[in-house]
A and B are shown apart, each in its own frame.
Chain A
Amino acid sequence: MTIEVEWRDYDVIVVGSGGAGSAAADAAAAEGARVLVVSKDPIACSDTKISEGNATVRGTVSDADTEQVLSDNLRVSGADLPLPALTDAYAKDSRPAYDWYRAHGLRPKINQDRKGPFARPLAKGGHTVARSVGHKNAGVAFSHAAWDAVVEGAHIDYLEDAWFLDLAVEGAENGAPGRVAGGLVYHAASGTLVAVRAPAVVMASGGLNTLYFPKTDTMRGNTGDGYAAAARAGADLVDMEQVQFLPFCLTAPASYEGLLVGEPSTASFLGVLRDRHGKVILDGVYLRTRAECSAAIMRAVADGRGTDDGGAYLDLTANARLPRSGKGFMRYLETSMPSAYRTARQALSKPAVRCEESWEVRPAAHYTMGGIRVDATGASVGGADDGTAAAGLSGLFAAGQAMGGVFGANRLGSTALTENVVFGLRAGRGAADHARTHSRATGDDAFRSLIAAAVAQFGQSGDQAPAHLKLELQRAAWDCIGPARTADSLNRMDAVIDDLADRAGRAAVPDYALWNQAFIEWVELRSLLDVARAVTAAARERDASVGGHVRLDRPQVSILAQPYSTVVRGQAANDGVLRFHANRARRPRTPAMRLLAMRLKDAWRKVQAKVLCLLPPALLDPILDRRYRAILGPGDAAPAVSPGGPAAAVADAAE
């Protein structure tokens, strides 16, 4: 049996239907483009949906929260890898982006004095101002907005259960990328290949974190398909070594491995990280970035001081022990990250949940800071330094986790939900504009070899199961290019990738067309192999530790050093395998005075935190009690996530 090919014509294809994809589709349709959204998961089912629902909205607490302050926060925490044009765009659009969600039904609590949403009172690590707005039902509330935008949206067609396989490209010459002619999609629900002619494609396909499964808290669909397809088509990727590992994820029980139970802020005023012998490996945890906490855990593990499961202990007991403020702390813990706490409550022992015992935690992949290299309109760029669209893959746009360059070496908490719409709207507009001003593809040649390759895969006989190769790759990726890396581990990774790529050539795929899981696994394996190569190539180019890239055998990068981003471009060799060439793009340093001011502020906060810990309990308790009252506000803040009693829940037998 051969699989049927269906041809379709659109102005813009949007890959993905999370925050970025839904915003891009909405913006492109508003510009009059005919839009097709393809999404492997059901519409709006995405990381956006499963997030904690905290969104950065500049100026919610104070007018002193200027665009400059927010842009600087992003760049400084990103170790100056972020492109100023992107962080400025983010700072400029953060409010309109948030209001886009609201226009589609997101309803926060309103601060009538400031005529806008309330922010959570504690600034999340790396933010110098409180500007993270929390929401009832967390990310699920955001996904309703994304869903409404796509399903209710006028002039938007969509296909779910649809795997975007490859970009069709024409006119690539002499190593320069060509232009997009459309893309090839496997629509599993109808069992067809859909060849979509379109002059512009927006990649809003999320991250690559499934490369580290099960040590990840993200959606299964994070298999890096967007990066891989872009790279195969000749687009540049940037900062691919920068994967964010969230420090506080579970090691056990097995059903919960990798799931998120907290942020640095969860540690609250007195929480510390300890090694297996009980020795403190990090204090002032609540003021640290995710990267700092993850690095502390992984360094302890590398020194042989980790727990049996390769993690460390998050010790919150000092917070809970104080007679008065301990109650405030527990309420804070329950309400500040409700779905993470729900996971902790289900998975950990009763004394641990009451914070009478430490929690065993280990980092897990959470976010991909690197991605498709773009400018502030979301257009693919190539060339030196900031790059230009003229040297990029013409017609390719990216937004959300799929794009790189805005967060550099570290992403601050609550910034992604805003970012995906800031750049989703920009990329959607850019793509519609591109479709208007550029002629359509000249023929269908660009599709021929893609279709032939996909068709040939159905009915392949072989002795390898793609699902199993995927698991092998995931294990190796954690060990070799996970939260701690060495020159040796990078070499080992390359060997594993070569072996698996070879065996992937002998993958068995049955010949039926309708929802062929083996084909799906093979497609995702191919993406994961490509992105693993990109991560390894970038990690080699980045020869010191910075942010999410922790090299155990190399020093921390000096803040005085000239910052640079890694850029990788793939090239298919004769054997069809994608090899990456890495180089560097120079980045400007944040002006010394601004950097210094921020560092001093941060250092001062850490000193204050230390002093606080030295106070005798009798003095400390009332101080913390007041702080929790201020944080929680009247009525003790946020209510529980899901309404209704367990008695009404027919499907959720574990609760």
Chain B
Amino acid sequence: MKIDIVTTRNGVRETVAYDYRPRQEGERPMILDVLLQAQATALPDLAFRYGCRARNCGVCTVDVNGRPRIACRARVRAGDRIEPMATLPVLADLVVRRDGIARQLQGRTTPDHRDPDVNAEAPEAYHDLTACIECYACLDGCPMHARNFGDDAADAAAPDAATGYRWGNPFSLLKLQRLRLDPCVSEDGRQAALDAAIDLGLDACVGCKGCKCGVGIDLKGGVVGELLAAAGDRVPGDGASAS
């Protein structure tokens, strides 16, 4: 089974046609199986991320035919093209630099606003958001995230993954909305989380067709919609918001 793997070594991008050999009769391999076999045979230095092989750790996301897929749980088909996620800077082969996404929340959230009495039960919506495995598939097509790379000329800013991106993304909004649903977070803490969402560019969500989650979390309604509703007039809308 022929698969195209896009490699980047020392800055040089190349497409390698790899011939996957099934290990069992009738095998329906995953993308990750292809990468593992390629590394075990023809491409020993092939760089890619994976961890659990079971869709729990969220680090193996790659683009397949231009769309983000969780490599350990996405079936591969002959002719597929495996590339690094297009939404983040490539470090080597299929490995992208991820830490700028998390870093942008540093200093924007408020750990001090948690109540020491931890015997409070969280609403179902809180647990829905805790299902996020940080796969970053939701960055795909997010205009807010794209601002970091200058797609929006007015807001063009040099992306700096080492210090955290200026503009947010569905994942960071999810983290903030999760704080707002935590029964142990104070009113101040909730307000601070909303302020952070607005500061990260919540206005980009107005009129956006909405984000999609790699594991099926309702980002549109459960995160963006809730934040926009809470922000009210602070984020001027055109009536066509993501909610």
Mark contacts of B8-33 with chain A using CB atoms, 8 A cut-off: 1 yes-contact digit, 0 otherwise. Answer: 01100000000000011001111011
> Which listed segment binds B: A109-117, A320-328, A403-411?
A109-117
In the complex formed, the residue of A with least CB distance to B50 is: A220
The residue that B59 contacts in the complex, of A41, A217, A468, with Cβ under 8 A, is A41
Q: Are B114 and A103 interface neighbours, CB within 8 A?
A: yes
Alpha-carbon separation in the docked complex, A259 to B215 (Å): 19
Chain B residues, CB < 8 A from A514: 10, 91-92
Most chain A CB neighbours (cut-off 10 Å) among B24, B110, B122: B122
Q: Are B162 and A190 interface neighbours, CB within 8 A?
A: yes
Alpha-carbon separation in the docked complex, A527 to B27 (Å): 33
- Tell yes or no: A140 within 8 A of B by CB: yes
In the complex formed, the residue of A with least CB distance to B125 is: A643
- Tell yes or no: A612 within 8 A of B by CB: no
Mark contacts of A488-530 with chain B using CB atoms, 8 A cut-off: 1 yes-contact digit, 0 otherwise. Answer: 0000000000000000000000101011111001000000000
Q: Closest approach, in angstroms, between the C-beta of A428 and any C-beta of chain B? A: 16
Q: Are A646 and B56 interface neighbours, CB within 8 A?
A: no
Q: Are B91 and A189 interface neighbours, CB within 8 A?
A: yes
- Tell yes or no: B234 within 8 A of A by CB: no
- Tell yes or no: A160 within 8 A of B by CB: yes
Q: Closest approach, in angstroms, between the C-beta of B49 and any C-beta of chain A? A: 8
> Which listed segment binds B: A125-133, A147-155, A394-402, A556-564?
A147-155
- Tell yes or no: A255 within 8 A of B by CB: yes
Chain B residues, CB < 8 A from A42: 59, 98-99, 102, 134
- Tell yes or no: A107 within 8 A of B by CB: yes
Q: Are A151 and B39 interface neighbours, CB within 8 A?
A: no
Chain A residues, CB < 8 A from B102: 42-43, 147, 151
Chain B residues, CB < 8 A from A584: none
Q: Are A188 and B91 interface neighbours, CB within 8 A?
A: yes
Q: Are A254 and B29 interface neighbours, CB within 8 A?
A: yes
Q: Are A99 and B118 interface neighbours, CB within 8 A?
A: yes
Chain B residues, CB < 8 A from A592: none
- Tell yes or no: A650 within 8 A of B by CB: yes
Q: Are B131 and A140 interface neighbours, CB within 8 A?
A: yes
Chain B residues, CB < 8 A from A41: 51, 57, 59
B51-82 CB contacts (< 8 Å) to partner A: 51-59, 61, 67-70, 72-75
A624-655 CB contacts (< 8 Å) to partner B: 641-655
- Tell yes or no: A176 within 8 A of B by CB: no
Alpha-carbon separation in the docked complex, A258 to B72 (Å): 14
Q: Are B131 and A643 interface neighbours, CB within 8 A?
A: yes
Q: Are A654 and B74 interface neighbours, CB within 8 A?
A: yes
Total interface residues on B, CB under 8 Å, equals: 80
Q: Are B24 and A50 interface neighbours, CB within 8 A?
A: no
Q: Are B95 and A515 interface neighbours, CB within 8 A?
A: yes
Q: How many A-B residue pairs have CB under 8 A?
A: 226
Q: Are B213 and A648 interface neighbours, CB within 8 A?
A: yes
Mark contacts of A375-406 with chain B using CB atoms, 8 A cut-off: 1 yes-contact digit, 0 otherwise. Answer: 00000000000000000000000000000000
- Tell yes or no: B83 within 8 A of A by CB: no
- Tell yes or no: B4 within 8 A of A by CB: no
Instruction: Take A152-B105, A253-B24 as given contacts and tell me if A515 and B216 are in contact as well, using a CB distance cutoff of 8 Å.
Output: no
Chain B residues, CB < 8 A from A569: none
A207-261 CB contacts (< 8 Å) to partner B: 214, 217-221, 252-256, 258-259
B113-161 CB contacts (< 8 Å) to partner A: 114, 116, 118-122, 126-128, 130-135, 137, 140, 161
Q: Are B70 and A107 interface neighbours, CB within 8 A?
A: no
Alpha-carbon separation in the docked complex, A218 to B215 (Å): 21
- Tell yes or no: A45 within 8 A of B by CB: yes
> Which listed segment binds A: B40-48, B199-207, B225-233?
B40-48
Q: Are B213 and A644 interface neighbours, CB within 8 A?
A: yes
- Tell yes or no: A5 within 8 A of B by CB: no
- Tell yes or no: A137 within 8 A of B by CB: yes
- Tell yes or no: A139 within 8 A of B by CB: yes
In the complex formed, the residue of A with least CB distance to B112 is: A154
The residue that A651 contacts in the complex, of B10, B44, B109, B215, with Cβ under 8 A, is B215
Chain B residues, CB < 8 A from A654: 30, 73-75
In the complex formed, the residue of A with least CB distance to B161 is: A189
Alpha-carbon separation in the docked complex, A109 to B126 (Å): 12
Q: Are A254 and B54 interface neighbours, CB within 8 A?
A: no
Q: Closest approach, in angstroms, between the C-beta of B19 and any C-beta of chain A? A: 17
Q: Closest approach, in angstroms, between the C-beta of B101 and any C-beta of chain A? A: 9
Q: Closest approach, in angstroms, between the C-beta of B59 and any C-beta of chain A? A: 6
Alpha-carbon separation in the docked complex, A624 to B101 (Å): 50
Chain A residues, CB < 8 A from B72: 255
Chain A residues, CB < 8 A from B106: 151-152
Question: Hey, which bits of chain B sit against chain A, CB under 8 A?
Answer: 9-10, 23-24, 27-30, 32-33, 39-40, 44-47, 50-59, 61, 67-70, 72-75, 91-93, 95, 97-99, 102-103, 105-106, 109-111, 114, 116, 118-122, 126-128, 130-135, 137, 140, 161-162, 178, 182-184, 212-218
Q: A140-B133, A221-B51, A648-B217 are in contact. List 16 more A-B contacts (CB 8 A).
A: A41-B59, A42-B102, A49-B133, A107-B182, A137-B127, A214-B53, A254-B27, A255-B33, A467-B40, A468-B40, A468-B44, A514-B91, A644-B217, A649-B215, A651-B135, A652-B74
Question: Hey, which bits of chain A sit against chain B, CB under 8 A?
Answer: 41-43, 45, 49-50, 99, 102-105, 107, 109-110, 115-116, 136-141, 144, 147-148, 151-154, 160-161, 188-190, 214, 217-221, 252-256, 258-259, 339, 343, 346, 465-468, 471, 510, 512, 514-518, 521, 641-655
